[in-house]
Amino acid sequence: MKKGIHPSNYRPVVFQDISVDHSFLVRSSVQTSETIVWSDGNTYPLVKLELSDKSHPFFTGKQKIVDSTGRVERFNKKYGLKKNAQ
């Protein structure tokens, strides 16, 4: 590795999704002042998240579907060709 271009504080960090109480341990250089004791008994820096793959609607399948019925009809009504114009 080239010296001086990589983060110097690259270490294991726990990220915790506070909305569903899901945590995962990965390596990161993010700065934080909070810590947590992980299941292996070691203390790691803690970063609290509002969203993760466990709580994001796209990944959970609970995505809200915007009203899509009638879109084509509304478009044709507003911008479409008239039936008499050919």
Cα–Cα distance measured from residue 86 to residue 32, given in angstroms and rounded to the nearest whole number: 67
Q: What is the pLDDT of residue 42?
A: 94
DSSP label at residue 29? -
Q: Which ranges constitute the DSSP H helices of the chain?
A: 57-60, 71-79
Task: Tell me the pTM.
Answer: 0.59
Distance CA 44, CA 78 (A): 58
Q: Are 36 and 43 in contact (CB under 8 A)?
A: yes
Block means of pLDDT (10 residues each) for the chain, 86 residues, are 78 88 90 92 91 63 59 77 60
